[in-house]
Structures are given as C-alpha cells and as structure tokens.
Structure 1
Amino acid sequence: MKEKYKKYLPLIIGKYIQCLFLFYPKKAIHKAYILFCTPRKGKVQPEQEYFLEKAEDETILISSTHIQTYRWANTGETILLVHGWESNTHRWKTLIKKLQEKNYNIIAFDAPAHGNSSGKILNIPLYTKCLQKVIELYRPNYVMGHSVGGMATIFHQYSYPNNEIEKLVVLAPPSELSRIMTEYQDTLKLSSKFMTALDQYFKNKHGFYFEEFSISEFSRNLTQKGLLIHDKNDDIAPYSEAESISQNWNGVQFISTENYGHSLFFDEVDTIILDFLKA
C-alpha cells in the first residue's frame, strides 16, 4: 500500500497545484517553486554523527539560516568540499581520511535544509550564496563539489570570480535546468501554461529563464584548472551534460568512468582526485 501511495503521490500533488493555478495562480506557482526546492532527506543520520563529531565545528548565520561548517585542520593547503542534493558532509568520509593523510586542511559544510544546517529549501543561487560566505571565511585553495554541489561550484565562479581558488574538482554535475524542469513537469503532469508561468517566476526571482541557466554555458567563464569526472552510465545526471561542460571549460581534465554510478565512491576516483590536487 505504501509503495502504491508513493507512486501516485506526485500525481496527486500535481493535480492539486494545477487546480490551484486556475483560481490562485501566484500561490500555485510559489508552491511549485518551494516544492521543487525542498529536499526529502539529507539530514545527518545517527550512524553518521560519530565521524562528523571528530571535526572542529562552527555555525555561521547566512540570511537567517544557520550553516553548519566542519574543519579537519592540518598544515597543508585548504580544500573545501561541497556535497550534493539530499546528502550532507558525511558523504566525503572516505575521501576526507585520504586527504588527512596528505596533510590537507579540510573544510566542509552542510547546505541549507541538509545535514546539521537549518532551513527548509535549497537551490543553486542560495547554495552559491552560502558557498561564497564559507569561501570568504576559510579562503580555500581548492574547491570540490559533487552533483548539485558541482553545479554550485561552477555557478559560484560565474557569479563570484575568485582567482585565489587555484583548482576546481567537479564530480557528476547536472548542467541544464531546462532538462531538470521538463522532468519536474513530467513527474507532476503540469501544463505548458503552468510551466511558462513558473519559468517567469524563476526569471523574476533569480535573473534567469530555465533555458538560460546552463552550467555548461557558465563553464565558459572558468579560468581555474579543473578536473571533471562523470560516469557514462550515470542515471541521475546525464553524461552528455558533462561532455558539454568539458567542451566549454578551457583547460579542464575530463575523466570518464564506467559503472561507477552517480556517487563515484571508488578508490580509483579518489586516486585521480589526489593526483590532480598534487600536480
């Protein structure tokens, strides 16, 4: 019964929002936007707490949201880790241990509505704003982002060009908001008229239409040396979008994997990352 409910829940929500749109269009569009930006999971689980408690922690306030930061202090260069959607800093556990062995000073933080941070929503412009504040505070040499964290890493450099950041590592990033929103439309069965209104809402709020918000296009502005890793069989972020990013990012090293999945939790991937940082 539970599985059947989960299957039909998006359709029920979509019908409700679509119906609301007929009578209260502004309210319906706002609800659709908030729903899109609301993660269903990503908070720290009990089994994840022990590892995170070993870090030096500090909470910073960004626009009424308390952002949880973590630091594994060391004498080497500073690297900032940026996790993905419905995740948290714990996803870096294995790589953090390897970075510690190489004496890197490691910084990470939980995105709004994720991990031990407060908030209820997350989107790339908000994530980017938080990323900028953390960078101002810790001044990293390198930034590494996974998935939506990779999107934020690139959009951050587009929005706040920072020549002090020497290298970027981007793992399994989606690129095209237009493709993501088409999938959102298909999931909720929203009308074209509704999506046109939602598109305008996004433009008014963030300055971009869906078609204009392209990580691939933003990559043209990158000046840092980069490492981009993406699996050919990634079922969450299309491999073709990573190819587009690599074509527009001057000086990037593009590594393709096969059957490593979206998370890329493999020793071979960690070795590639460590070699790139050391070079």
Structure 2
Amino acid sequence: MELINKIAYFTLTKSIGLYINLVSYIFPKKAARLAYKFFTQPREGKLLPNAIPDILKEAEQEVLFHEENSIQTYTWKGNETKILLVHGWESNASRWEQFINYFRKSKSTIIALDGPGQGLSSGVEFNIPQYAKHVNALVERFQPQFIIGHSMGGAACLYYQFKYNNPILEKMVILGAPSEFEILLNNYKRTISLNEKTFQLLTEKFTERFKISPSEFSGKKFASTFNLKGLIAHDIDDDVVAFNEGKEIAKAWKSAKFIETKGLGHSLHDENLYQKINNFLFEE
C-alpha cells in the first residue's frame, strides 16, 4: 500500500510540473501563479468546527482578526508566565497535544494558534511573512515571554523576531526548522520537475510578493541578529528538514544552545526533550 501511495504521489507531482512547464511557454504569468499556488496551499491541516480534537476543546478559544484574515487561537490558562506555540506546514494547533499535556505541570499559560489556511483559521495560502504577521497579532494580544516554533512555524518565528525585534520575548525554542528558503524552493523545483524558465518566474513572484528575495530569506541570517536566548533542537534522522539546517541556525545565533536528538524524526515528540526545554525556559 505504501509503495502504491508513493507511486501515486510521484505521478501526481510530475504531472503538475509538466502541466506548469507547458503553460509557461504560452502564458508565463499564469504558470508562475500556478507554481506559487501549489507551493503555498496546504493540502492537510484544516479542521471542521464540529470535529476538533479534544485537546483543543479543553482550551479557551478566541478569534483574532488581522487585515482580511481570521486567526483561531487557543489558551490553556495558568499563571502569568505565557508560552506561545507556533506549528508548522500542513498542521494545526493540535500537533502540540503531547507538549501541552507535559507543560501543564509548569502551571504556565499556554497559547497556540492555527496558521494561515490551517485548522480553523481563514485563508488558503500559507507563507512565512503572513504567518509572522499572525504571530505578531498574538504577541500583541497575549504578551508571551516565550515562543516555541516547529518546522515552518520555527522558520516563521525566526523571521518574526528579525522583522519585529520584539523586546517582550525573553526566550525562543526552534524545533526542526529549515534555515534557507532557497533550499525549500529548490526542493520544490526538483520534486515537480519545474523547468528553469518557470522556476525563475516563481522566484521573481516570491520577491515581488514579499519584498525580499529567496536568497536573503535565511533563518541563520535572521538569528545572527538576535539578543534573546535561544534553544534549537534537531533530529539527525529528520527526513523532512536536513539536520544541518538546525546546526547552521544554532551556529549563527550567539546566545543559543543546540540539542541533537536521534530517533525522534521531524516531529520531535519526546518527554526527555520536553524536560530539556522546560529547564531552558524556567531554570537557565
């Protein structure tokens, strides 16, 4: 069954790439829009209002509004110490269930959000600059001292602090996050076999859309400007984001420490790791 799924995925992705490449010769701007759409629209992670996971039902829910977007938030109330959780691609706030159950012991207030186009938040597009705006809306609303991001959520946290330089935050934890946006783009190009013409159009569209080129969009460059304390954890068996990406972020971040794990994969769910994060947040 797994082999069949892999074959189906391979066939679908290559078919999409072939179609976009063909369109680029006649309608280049349309090809760029299509390539952008498939890169930025999550296929998983949405939730139905009448079927949300139990862990989210236990939270106090609030909807924030930013520009034309609604942002679904969840708060597990505790004391005045607040932790903001930022999930990754094709996911939602429920990915933090194990983490939340562990950190309830700290008596802290835990806050999470559904990212753009995921969970119960509005939209169809997921991108880091927009996600950073949503993170900023939550930081302004809840005033957390700590922020923890996983995967693309971690990348959004790095960009957020670089862009907003928020003094409210005291410590940041980054879990399995990519550093270089160019690597993500090149992986996408290779996965669906985009031709050079289409890839150049896509790169130009990103630069126009976000006012920053993919080559400048670098987690390690962002982190090199930070003064707040950081903790980066990455698993050597991560098959989604290369282990070296986490090491590069940690190397550039002057006031950060790096934790290497093994056997946890990309998810990084583990009580031993949680304990190390707990020590970093509350004891160091």
The alpha carbon displacement at 1:6 in A equals 2.9
Note the alpha carbon deviations across 1:193-242, whole angstroms, 9 max, x for none.
22112111111111222222111111111111011111112111111111
Deviating 4+ runs (over 4 angstroms) = 45-48
- Uncovered stretches (5+) of structure 2, i.e. residues with no partner: none
State the alpha-carbon separation in 2 of the partners of residues 36 and 189 from structure 1.
13
| Structure 1 segments unaligned to the other structure (5+ residues) | none
96-105 or 81-90, which deviates more = 96-105
The Cα offsets for residues 129-174 of structure 1, whole Å up to 9 and x where unpaired, read as 1111111111100000001110011100001001110000111101
2:16 pairs with 1:43: no
Give me the TM-score of the superposition, normalised by structure 2: 0.94
Partner of 2:92: 88
Q: Are residues 1:21 and 2:34 paired?
A: no
Counterparts of 2:104 and 2:237 in 1: how far apart (Å)?
A: 31
8 Å CA contact 1:142–1:168 kept in 2: the answer is yes
Give 1:84 deviation, angstroms.
Answer: 0.8
Deviation at 1:257, TM superposition (A): 0.6
Pairs aligned (count): 279
Does the alignment pair 1:76 with 2:54?
no
Q: Quick one: distance in 1 between partners of 2:120 and 2:52?
A: 11
How far apart, CA to CA, are the structure 2 residues paired with 1:133 and 1:47? 26
Match of 2:261 in 1: 257
User: What per-residue deviation string (whole Å, max 9, x for no partner) do you get for residues 100-134 of structure 1?
Assistant: 22110111100011111121110101100111111
Given that 1:143 and 1:169 are in contact with CA atoms closer than 8 Å, whether structure 2 keeps it comes out as yes
CA distance in 2, matches of 1:193, 1:273: 45
Q: Which amino acid aligns with 1:32?
A: A
Deviation digits for residues 59-79 of structure 1, max 9, x if unmatched? Answer: 112222211100111113011
- Secondary structure of the structure 1 residue equivalent to 2:224: helix
Instruction: Return the match for 1:218 from 194, 211, 222.
Output: 222
**Correspondence for 1:139:** 143
170, 177, 195: which one aligns with 1:191: 195
Q: How does 1:1-279 map to 2 (within 5 A)?
A: 3=5, 4-44=7-47, 49-279=53-283
SS at match of 1:221: coil
Q: State the Cα distance separating 1:7 from its structure 2 match.
A: 2.4
Give the CA deviation at 1:271.
Answer: 0.6
Q: What's the secondary structure of 1:117's corresponding residue?
A: coil
